Amino acid sequence: MSQVERSRAMSGIKLASLTVTVRDPQEAAVVGAQALKDTHSLRSRRAADDLRDLARRATVF
């Protein structure tokens, strides 16, 4: 995975978390689904932690 791909994946996770926080769960689902696709080959503890945080935030909906 290139640095650009890694950055895109990490940014997508953060954007999905922010989007769900501002109460737009439908858009967060779209962004989050793409972020999951982008992280399929990423092995990163930070990415895993960020995905767990996203899941926690999304459980409100």
pLDDT per residue over 1-52, tens digit each?
A: 889 999 999 999 999 999 999 999 999 999 999 999 998 888 889 999 999 9
Distance between CA atoms of residues 45 and 21, nearest Å: 22
As given in the structure block, the two tokens for residue 32 are: 């989050």
Q: Is the pLDDT of residue 60 over 90?
A: no
Distance between CA atoms of residues 6 and 9, nearest Å: 5
